[in-house]
Amino acid sequence: MALITRKHILKPPAPAAPGVAISVQSLTKRFGDFTAVGGVSFEVGTGEIFGFLGPNGSGKTTTIRMLCGTIAPSSGGARVLGLDVAAEAEAVRARIGYMSQKFSLFEDLTVDENLRFYGGVYGLDGSRFTARRAHILKMADLIGRENELTENLSVGWKQRLALGCATIHEPELVFLDEPTSGVDPLARKDFWELLYELAASGVTLFVTTHYMDEAANCSRLAFIYRGDIVAIGTPDELRSREMRDRIFEVEVADTEAVLAALENDADVREVYMSGALLHVNMGEADGAAALLDVALARAGAAGAHASRVEPSIEDVFVHLVTREQRERSVI
Amino acid sequence: MRAALRRVIAITRKEFIHIRRDPRTLMSVLLMPVIQLLLFSYAISFDVGNVPTVILDQDRTTASREYLAAFEHSEFFRVVDHIESDTEADNAFDTSQAKVALIIRPGFADAIAEGHKAEVAILIDGSEPNSAQLGRAYAVALSSTEDRHVLVSWAENQGLDMSAVGGLSPQIRTWYNPDRRSADFLIPGLMVVIIMIVTIQQTAVSLVKERDQGTFEQLTVSPIRRAELMVGKVLPWVLLAFVETAVIVAVGVLLFGVPLRGSVLALALGSVLFVFSSLAIGLLISVRASSVEVANMAGLLISFLPGFMLSGFAFPLESIPPALQFISYLFPGRYMMVIARSVFLKGADVATVLPQLIALGLYTLVSLTIASLAYSRRLS
Ligand SMILES: Nc1ncnc2c1ncn2[C@@H]1O[C@H](COP(=O)(O)OP(=O)(O)O)[C@@H](O)[C@H]1O
Ligand SMILES: [Mg+2]
């Protein structure tokens, strides 16, 4: 008992509360006088699929790099799997998996050679490698293509192989940095199936994305904007807590002209494209539907079909980003 | 430790696959040196012999006449005329009557008598392609006609302007090549140049390629340490450089009959140090280069020019401007050049070339340290 106590004195506690995979305190990264990540704090529970959302350049990759121990924080800190990312980076790296948007496969190596390489990097011995290889080939649907050059694989296959390579050592926690960028919707869906399987087996996933439809797949989400976390919670929480505004979906012929007109309309809070349709945020005002009809008439789209919809994650996201932009421009 | 070794092996094996899958690299690494070797050596050895020559003896002593007699009997030079002045040499070049002028200035005999090294000037028709190469080959042949140390100074007569030639500083050099064969002289030098080019360039490129591909980022998140990655990636090139050294030596000895008179151990020791020092340069390039193309160009420039010009291969180092001489110490070629030529031609053993081995060893130590520091700083 005494021994344990002394240990605690020598080394500040690592009491990752049971079930906490990542715990981040005021994590900050500055490049010169530019602050890429401005003191973010959050926790990720074991087994979660934690979505990290933000526009390009908002600091997602920089945050992941600090959590993986590849760059040192300017201030603040984080514990990953109970380890300090700055002081115990090497131990962290042995226990996590990482998949970047570039897939990180060697294109001039075959499927098998890529697996063998990563197996060697993570020090898998013969029998464990054989088992993992078989598992990954099956998971990635690559059986029969072991000797194909990676450059000849379709993007979807590459993506699954990259996931296999990143998880060959069965990490407890996997960071995925925009793993689905540039992949067609069908392959993206398949890929998320694989992520669900991983999560179901107890692996914690930390996923960044800018695809809003994928955000709904996550068990919890954080929105990061210009280095700050502006909202965090489950998708449902975010929709109900952050969003009391009324959202309408509008179908018009000349979307661009109407979009431009509505953007300058005083009654319209936010307007943006969502797929082929316009999404219009009318704020919390009562009688929003009537106001919108008038606004549409002013925009030259009288009688256009508008229907109120439940706010999607994308609506929340646009709302939060617009709010941030507004607040920051006031300052 | 075993885990580290396993990681290094994983990387090295991967590198070998890259090399195997890229026929262009493989070609340039394995075949080009041999082709270069053949081209260079044949081109040079064909050209030497029966070269029309004029002689100007301003010393007019027994010593100078003795020296010139030996020279006239050589099979390399065909003496076409004895001339009286520098202007006549100019004319001889102008009319293509001669390609070489051999000039003994007053004081030749006195210098020898006083035990100093005497000087002989050779002017070479610079309009001839490859004249620099030829000039060196002539100088080799010339010195070997006299069984004593003769200091040779030669100059290229570029514009056939004698006053300009006179402005060139004399070069002081003792040559060894008793068989008067230029291949003997060239092949050890070529070995040095080729190893330097291949090692520097390939190291630089292979490290930058990893960074370019984005796979590097993946590796920084893996348990691989920077040092392991570096060792694993350069190991194949170290091995290939050794294979290449062996191939060039074998081709030289078997095909060209170059004698390997000295200690193989000395040559091997020198080669190991030399390969590692070249590698350090490649590493430094890779740290600074922003892309594969830049690394390729920088690798070429930094290996080719110093390889040929500042190693003593194309020009004796004593003949180049002092500033360049100083720069030549910054490249490993010059140390290895002495080792290679001494071992091949002079029969040197480890003790003989110990100063060069120590210099090369220090160079390797310093350059590898600088490169490793720069490398790890770049990554963090
Ligand atoms: N090494 C670096 N040096 C300077 N600025 C950087 C560096 N890395 C990232 N940044 C900047 O930090 C900001 C956040 O980048 P990043 O984390 O890559 O954003 P995201 O992944 O969300 O697109 C960007 O403005 C980017 O230009
Ligand atoms: Mg990014």
Are B222 and B336 found together in one domain? Answer: yes
Report which protein residue has its CA nearest ligand 1's atom 6. A31
B22 in a domain, yes or no? yes
The minimal CB distance from B221 to the residues A98, A105, A107 is found for: A98
**Is the pLDDT assigned to residue A11 strictly greater than 70?**
no
DSSP three-state, residue B5: helix
For residue A121, the chain B residue with the least C-alpha distance is B7
Report which protein residue has its CA nearest ligand 1's atom 16. A59
Polymer length of chain B = 380
Interface of A with B (CB under 8 A): 68-72, 90, 93-94, 96, 98-100, 102-109, 113, 116-123, 166, 175
How far apart, in whole angstroms, are the C-alpha atoms of residue A20 and residue A43?
7
Select from B180, B144, B194 the least CA-distant residue to B38. B194
DSSP three-state, residue A173: strand
Highest mean pLDDT: which of A287-291, B25-29, B366-370? B366-370
**Is the pLDDT assigned to residue A76 strictly greater than 90?**
yes
Say yes or no for a CB contact (<8 Å) between A104 and B217.
Answer: yes
For residue B220, the chain A residue with the least C-alpha distance is A70
Are B126 and B187 found together in one domain? Answer: no
For residue A35, the cross-strand partners are A30
Question: What mean pLDDT is predicted for residues B215-243?
Answer: 88
How far apart, in whole angstroms, are the C-alpha atoms of residue B287 and residue A328?
40
pLDDT in tens, A15-61: 444 589 999 999 999 999 999 999 999 999 999 999 999 888 999 99
Residue B108's pLDDT is 78
Tell which of B132, B164, B196 closes a domain.
B164
B313 in a domain, yes or no? yes
Are B128 and B245 found together in one domain? Answer: no
Are B288 and B310 found together in one domain? Answer: yes
Q: Which residues of chain A does B223 touch, with a Cβ-Cβ cutoff of 8 Å?
A: 90, 93-94, 121-123
Are B226 and B201 found together in one domain? Answer: yes
What's the gap in Å between A66 CA and the centre of ligand 2? 13
The minimal CB distance from B218 to the residues A69, A104, A113 is found for: A104
C-alpha pair distances (Å), A306 with each of A269, B229, B241: 16, 59, 73
- As a whole number, the mean pLDDT across chain B is 76
Question: What mean pLDDT is predicted for residues A121-141?
Answer: 94
Largest CA distance in chain B: 79
Supply the CATH number for residue B142's domain: 3.40.1710.10
Are B343 and B245 found together in one domain? Answer: yes
Per-residue pLDDT band for B265 (boundaries 50, 70, 90) equals: very high
B270 in a domain, yes or no? yes
Residue B154's pLDDT is 35
B172 in a domain, yes or no? no
At residue A92, what are phi and psi to the nearest 5 degrees?
A: -60, -45
Per-residue pLDDT band for B148 (boundaries 50, 70, 90) equals: very low
What's the gap in Å between B300 CA and the centre of ligand 1? 33
In this predicted structure, which of A183-197, B253-267, B307-321 has the lowest mean pLDDT? B307-321
- DSSP assignment of A117-155 equals HHHHHTT--HHHHHHHHHHHHHHTT-TT-TTSBGGGS-H
Per-residue pLDDT band for B117 (boundaries 50, 70, 90) equals: low
- As a whole number, the mean pLDDT across chain A is 87
**Is the pLDDT assigned to residue B48 strictly greater than 80?**
no
How far apart, in whole angstroms, are the C-alpha atoms of residue B147 and residue A38?
80
| Ligand 1 pocket residues where CB is under 6 Å | A 31, 36, 54, 56-62
How far apart, in whole angstroms, are the C-alpha atoms of residue A190 and residue B261?
69
Q: Compare B352 and A112 and report the one with higher pLDDT.
A: A112
Question: What mean pLDDT is predicted for residues A256-282?
Answer: 85
In this predicted structure, which of A267-271, A308-312, B125-129 has the lowest mean pLDDT? B125-129
How far apart, in whole angstroms, are the C-alpha atoms of residue B371 and residue B287?
8
Polymer length of chain A = 331
Are B239 and B160 found together in one domain? Answer: no
Residue B47's pLDDT is 43
B330 in a domain, yes or no? yes
ipTM for the predicted complex = 0.78
Beta-carbon contacts of residue B245 (< 8 Å; ≥ 6 apart):
B191, B195, B271, B275
Q: Compare B320 and B104 and report the one with higher pLDDT.
A: B104
**Is the pLDDT assigned to residue B304 strictly greater than 70?**
yes
**Is the pLDDT assigned to residue B76 strictly greater than 80?**
no
DSSP three-state, residue A320: helix
Say yes or no for a CB contact (<8 Å) between B213 and A113.
Answer: no
C-beta atoms surrounding A252 within 10 Å: 20
Are B76 and B217 found together in one domain? Answer: no
Select from A86, A170, A71 the least CA-distant residue to A123. A170
Question: What mean pLDDT is predicted for residues B181-203?
Answer: 81
Per-residue pLDDT band for B151 (boundaries 50, 70, 90) equals: very low
Domain extent for B63? 51-164
Per-residue pLDDT band for A12 (boundaries 50, 70, 90) equals: very low
Per-residue pLDDT band for B165 (boundaries 50, 70, 90) equals: very low
**What element of type H or E holds A222?**
strand A220-225
Per-residue pLDDT band for B207 (boundaries 50, 70, 90) equals: confident
Tokens, residue A131: 């088992």
Tokens, residue B8: 């290094």
Q: Compare B308 and A164 and report the one with higher pLDDT.
A: A164
C-alpha pair distances (Å), B127 with each of A173, A238, B132, B161: 72, 83, 10, 12
C-beta atoms surrounding B135 within 10 Å: 24
What's the gap in Å between A63 CA and the centre of ligand 1? 10
Say yes or no for a CB contact (<8 Å) between A166 and B218.
Answer: yes
Question: What mean pLDDT is predicted for residues B320-334?
Answer: 86
B7 in a domain, yes or no? yes
What is the side-by-side order of every strand in the sheet holding A204-209? A96-99, A173-177, A204-209, A49-53, A220-225, A228-233
Are B131 and B216 found together in one domain? Answer: no
Tell which of B138, B164, B190 closes a domain.
B164
Are B124 and B215 found together in one domain? Answer: no
At residue B119, what are phi and psi to the nearest 5 degrees?
A: -115, 145
Tell which of B131, B164, B197 closes a domain.
B164
Q: Is residue B244 classed exposed, middle or buried when 0-12, 13-18 and 19+ CB atoms within 10 A define those classes?
A: buried
At residue A273, what are phi and psi to the nearest 5 degrees?
A: -80, 140
For residue B2, the chain A residue with the least C-alpha distance is A123
At residue B157, what are phi and psi to the nearest 5 degrees?
A: -95, 80
The whole-model pTM stands at 0.73
Q: Compare A120 and A255 and report the one with higher pLDDT.
A: A120
**Is the pLDDT assigned to residue B38 strictly greater than 90?**
no
Report the domain count for chain B.
2
Residue A324's pLDDT is 81
Tokens, residue B229: 């990655």
Interface of B with A (CB under 8 A): 3, 6-7, 9-11, 13-14, 17-18, 21-22, 213-215, 217-225, 380
Q: Say which amino acid occupies B311.
A: S
Per-residue pLDDT band for A135 (boundaries 50, 70, 90) equals: very high
**d(CA B200, nearest CA chain A) in Å:** 23
Q: Is residue A225 classed exposed, middle or buried when 0-12, 13-18 and 19+ CB atoms within 10 A define those classes?
A: buried
**What element of type H or E holds A22?**
strand A20-31
Say yes or no for a CB contact (<8 Å) between B18 and A108.
Answer: yes
Q: Say which amino acid occupies A120.
A: G
B175 in a domain, yes or no? no
Q: Which residue has the tokens 């924080």?
A: A73
Per-residue pLDDT band for A301 (boundaries 50, 70, 90) equals: confident
How far apart, in whole angstroms, are the C-alpha atoms of residue A62 and residue A68?
10
Are B239 and B331 found together in one domain? Answer: yes
Q: For residue A44, how far is the Cα from the chain centroid?
A: 13
Select from A168, A166, A207 the least CA-distant residue to A188. A207
Per-residue pLDDT band for B206 (boundaries 50, 70, 90) equals: confident
Are B34 and B56 found together in one domain? Answer: no
B176 in a domain, yes or no? no
Q: Say which amino acid occupies B263.
A: S
Please give the span between the terminal C-alpha atoms of chain A, in angstroms, as a whole number.
54
In this predicted structure, which of A111-115, B87-91, B202-206 has the lowest mean pLDDT? B87-91
